[in-house]
Structure 1
Amino acid sequence: MTPIRTVLVVGSGAMGSQIAMVCANAGLTVACTDLDQSALDRAESMLRTRMESNVAKGRMTAAQRDAAFDRLTLTTDRDTAARTADLVIEAAVEKLDVKRSLFAELAALAPDTAILASNSSSFVPSSMASAVPLPERFCNIHFFNPALVMKCVEVVRGPETSDETMAAATAFVEKIGKTPVVLEKEIPGFVANRILGAVRDEALRLLEGGYADVVAIDTACRTALGYPMGPFELMDLTGIDIGYLVKKQRFAESGDPADEPAETVARLVERGDLGRKTGSGWYTYSESGEKQGLNPL
C-alpha cells in the first residue's frame, strides 16, 4: 500500500477547504480544486482568517501557519492534481449523479494505486464505487463540520472495499490528528448523523406540532442534554439544504412519507434561507455570523 503523502480535495466549500487545510497542517501536500476561481478565493480568505486566529490564540506558530499554506495549492486545475494524488477526497454537492460522474472522471486520471473517497454521509460507498473500475480502492472518509475543529472522522467500508484500503484510510485519519470511527458495513447516514437525524426529526415534529418553538427546543438540548448547540442551530451551521437534499434522496429511494423533508424545512429551502451561509435559516445572522434573532416562518 502506497503511503499517503499527496491529497486532492475536490470542492472548495466549507467542508472541502477545511479538509484540505487539516491535511496541510498535518504535513501532507494538498491540492484543493474547484471549477470557480471566486470560490477558491473565498476559501483562501476564510482559511487565512482561521489560521491567523489560531496563531493569535497560541494554537500554532506563524511559521507553522506559513508552512501549511506552502503545502496547500488552491487551483482550478483538477486534472493535473489528480494525476499525482495518493488520496482523492470528494467534497462536492450532495447529488448522487454529480458524484458518480465526478468519480468516473477522477478514476480515469488518478493512479491505479490511489484511494478514492467521498466525504458524503448520505450516500454509501457502493452507490458511488460502481462508477469506478477499481471499487476495492473506494471508501467514504466522512469529516464533520467544522473539520478544522471536530475530531471524529468516519471511515466506511463498501461491499468491495479492500482491507488494505480501509487500513490506509484509517492510518491517514490518525496521521492528520483525527479520531477514526470505522464502519465495517455501510448504512446511509453512518453513525453520528443517524443519531443526529433522529434528534433533528423529533425536534421538527415538536415544532410543527406546536409543542415548543425553535428557541425552546434548542435551549432544552443545550441545557438538559449537554449538546454544544441545539438541532436548529446545528442545521443552520451545516446548511439546511444539505439535510433537505438527503431527505429528498431517501424519499426517492423508499417512497416512505416519513422520509420526506419536513414542511418547514422545505419552506425555508424554497425561500433560500439555508442557514448561516445565506444570513438566515431558523435564525437570522449578521455578516460576521453572529446570531441575531428568529427568522419568521
Structure 2
Amino acid sequence: MAAAPQETTPDTSAPVWTRVAVIGAGAMGAQIAGVIALSGREVALADTARDALDRAGTTLRGRWDSRVAKGAMTAAERDAAYGRITFSDNVSDAVSDVDLVIEAVVEKLDVKRDLFSQVDGAARPGTVISSNSSSFVPSSMAEAIADPTRFLGLHFFNPALVMKCVEVIAGPQTDPQLMSDGTRFVEQIGKEPVVLRKEINGFVANRILNAVRDEAIYLLEGGYASVTDIDRACRTALGYPMGPFELMDLTGVDIGYLTKKARYAASGDPKDAPSRTVSGLFDTGQLGRKSGRGFYVYDDKGVKQGENTDRPGASD
C-alpha cells in the first residue's frame, strides 16, 4: 500500500519579495527604500527627477551616519544597506525585474493611475503592485493594471525609518494569498502590520487621527484655544508624542489638504472637505517644516521657533 502523502507546512520564515522597487524619491519613498534595504533586500529607488534622487541619497546617508555615531548601527551595516539601493531616473527600468513595486508619489489619483499603467507595462508578469497612498482605496487604483488581483495597499507612516505601523489594505479583487504575503513581508522588514480586510478611505490610523485633527481645528477656528495650547493638551494630558498641529507640520500641510480633498470627492460630505485654515495654509504655500512656515515657524534647520501668527485666519 502506498504511503499517504505527507502534509507540508508553508515556510513562513522564507523571505517574501526579495527584489523591490520604490517609485518616488520624496521623504516617504526614500525612507521606505531605506527600511527595505536594512532588511537585507535589494531595492531600486526610482524618480524621474535626478535632484530628488540625490537628496534621497544624502538624507539616508545622513540618518544612518547619525545612527552610527550613536552606536545604533555599525559602519559596516550602514554601508551594506546603502549598497543595496540602486538609484534610477528610469521608472520602467527600475521595475523590470522586481517582485514588488511600492508607489510613493504625490497624493493625486490621476498621477498614480498613470504611473500604475506604466509600471504594469514594464514589470514582469506576476509582479505585485502596491501603493503607499494614505487615503485612496486599492480599487480606485487597481483598475489601471490588467490584473487587479495582484494589487494591494502598503501604507507606511512618516518617518518610515522609525514608525512601526504599516497598514496592509485589501481591495475587493485582491488575492487573499497576496494579503498573507503582504503581512509576512511587513513583519520581515521589522514593522507591525495592521490588516484591513475591507477597504475604506483613510484606512484605520488616519481615520482616527483625522477625527482628532478635525476637533483640534474646530477648537482653533472657534477661538477656544491656541495652536500651542491645543498641542500642549494632547502631549501633556493624552500622552501624544506631538500635538495634531505639530504633526500636520511634520507630515506636510499639503498632504493633509490633498487627503481631505480626496475623501470629500469620494463622499460628497462637506465635513470631509479641508478646513478653511488648512486650505488657507495650502493656498499660501505655508506647508509646515518643509516650507519654514505652517502652524508654526521653523528655522533653516527645521527647529520650531514659535506659533505662526501670520498664518491665514490667525487674527480672527
**What CA distance in whole angstroms lies between the structure 1 residues aligned with 2:102 and 2:268?**
31
Counterpart residue number, 2:9: none
**Match for 1:100 among 91, 113, 116?**
113
TM normalised by structure 1 equals: 0.98
**Match for 1:189 among 184, 189, 202?**
202
**What CA distance in whole angstroms lies between the structure 1 residues aligned with 2:298 and 2:194?**
33
**What CA distance in whole angstroms lies between the structure 1 residues aligned with 2:25 and 2:160?**
13
Gaps of 5+ in 2: 1-13, 312-316
* 2:207 corresponds to 1:215: no
* 2:63 corresponds to 1:46: no
**What CA distance in whole angstroms lies between the structure 2 residues aligned with 1:107 and 1:23?**
22
Counterpart residue number, 2:92: 79
> After TM superposition, which residue ranges in structure 1, 4 or more long, deviate above 4 angstroms?
none
TM normalised by structure 2 equals: 0.92
Instruction: Please identify the structure whose Cα radius of gyration is greater.
Output: 2
Amino acid at match of 2:284: R
Counterpart residue number, 1:282: 295
Offset of residue 2 of structure 1:
9.2
**Match for 2:241 among 228, 235, 246?**
228
Counterpart residue number, 2:159: 146
Counterpart residue number, 2:176: 163
Deviation digits for residues 246-295 of structure 1 (CA, Å, limit 9, x no counterpart): 11122223332211211111111111000111111100111111111111
Contact 1:2 1:86 in 2 (8 A): no
Gaps of 5+ in 1: none
Deviation digits for residues 115-174 of structure 1 (CA, Å, limit 9, x no counterpart): 100001210000001111111100000000000000010000100000121111111111
RMSD: 1.2
* 2:188 corresponds to 1:175: yes
Counterpart residue number, 1:55: 68
**What CA distance in whole angstroms lies between the structure 1 residues aligned with 2:193 and 2:124?**
25
Contact 2:151 2:174 in 1 (8 A): yes
SS in 2 for 1:147: coil
Counterpart residue number, 1:67: 80
Counterpart residue number, 2:307: 294
Counterpart residue number, 1:121: 134
Q: How do 1:4-19 and structure 2 match up within 5 A?
A: 4-19=17-32
Contact 1:2 1:113 in 2 (8 A): no
Aligned identity (percent) is: 61
Contact 1:241 1:269 in 2 (8 A): yes
* 2:267 corresponds to 1:254: yes
**What CA distance in whole angstroms lies between the structure 2 residues aligned with 1:146 and 1:3?**
23
**What CA distance in whole angstroms lies between the structure 1 residues aligned with 2:46 and 2:121?**
17
**What CA distance in whole angstroms lies between the structure 2 residues aligned with 1:79 and 1:252?**
31
